[in-house]
Structure formats: C-alpha cells, structure tokens
C-alpha cells in the first residue's frame, strides 16, 4: 500500500476512534440521568427497553472501538490492508467502505457462507405453470 493511502486510513481511523470515544461519553452520561418513579408500568417497560437498547449500542460501540484500535495497530506494524486469511492485499475500495476489516471480500464471503452459493430471490427460477398440461 502506498504511503499516501496509509496516511489516509490512519487519519480516517483516528477520526473514527475519536468520534466513538466522545459518543461513548454521551451515552454514559445519558444513562446516569435519573428517570425513576414512573407510575405507569408501560413507561417503565419502555424505559427498560431503552436501557437495553442503549446497552446494546454501547456494546457494539465498544467492540468497534477495539476493532478501530486494532486497525491502527496494523497500520503501525505494516500489516494493514493485508487479508488475515489469504495474505493478499485487500481492495482499497473495500477498505474505504470498512477500514476495520481484516479479510478480503473473497475470504469474508467464504467464511460467512461456507460452501454455499447465495441466490437472491430475483435470481431464483420463476415457477410458471406449464401450459397445455391439463392433467396438472
């Protein structure tokens, strides 16, 4: 990978990390705002759902922060943009869309769909009734 590209991704990842970390603070302070004594059980239920939702978001953010940090480490040790599975360079286009990725699209697809060929509904053969087959 070119030095220019490395710089691009380093900046991108640093920005992403900063954004995630500052956002994380917001979520935490939002959660500590006391919202107790809801007389309506429906409100209580939705409050619980909100809280679970927040926790799930936080969990996802936490995982993403880890991934971004790892990607930055890979930039430092020179393994950024190399597929973990096959050792081939990952397409820049893919990295721009998902800079934390550690696998090229081929390996990722194989991992998610081992031995499977994915058929979208639009690719499925259309079942048309057979004309002239009165028997059926």
What is the binding site for Zn ion (CB under 5 A)?
A: 83, 85-86, 104, 107
In sequence order, the 6+-apart residues with CB closer than 8 A to the CB of 99 are 9, 12, 13, 16, 68, 71
Output 68 or 83, the one with its CB closest to Zn ion: 83
CB of 79 to Zn ion, least distance (A): 13
> In angstroms, what is the minimal distance from the CB of 30 to Zn ion?
40
Token couple for 95: 């990295």
Q: Which residues contact 27 (CB under 8 A, 6 or more apart)?
A: 54, 57, 58, 61
Question: Closest approach of Cβ 107 to Zn ion, in Å?
Answer: 3
| Closest to Zn ion by CB, 72 or 101 | 101
Nearer CB in complex with Zn ion: 75/104? 104
């Amino acid at each position: 990978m070119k030095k220019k590209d490395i710089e691009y991704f380093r900046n991108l990842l640093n920005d992403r990390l900063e954004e995630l970390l500052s956002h994380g603070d917001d979520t935490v302070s939002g959660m500590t705002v006391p919202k107790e004594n809801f007389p309506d059980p429906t409100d209580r239920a939705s409050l619980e759902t909100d809280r679970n939702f927040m926790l799930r978001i936080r969990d996802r953010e936490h995982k993403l922060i880890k991934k971004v940090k790892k990607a930055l480490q890979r930039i430092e040790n020179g393994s950024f943009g190399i597929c973990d599975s096959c050792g081939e360079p990952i397409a820049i286009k893919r990295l721009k869309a998902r800079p934390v990725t550690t696998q090229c699209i081929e390996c990722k697809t194989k991992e998610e769909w081992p031995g499977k060929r994915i058929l979208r509904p639009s690719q499925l053969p259309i079942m048309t009734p057979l004309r002239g087959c009165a028997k059926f």
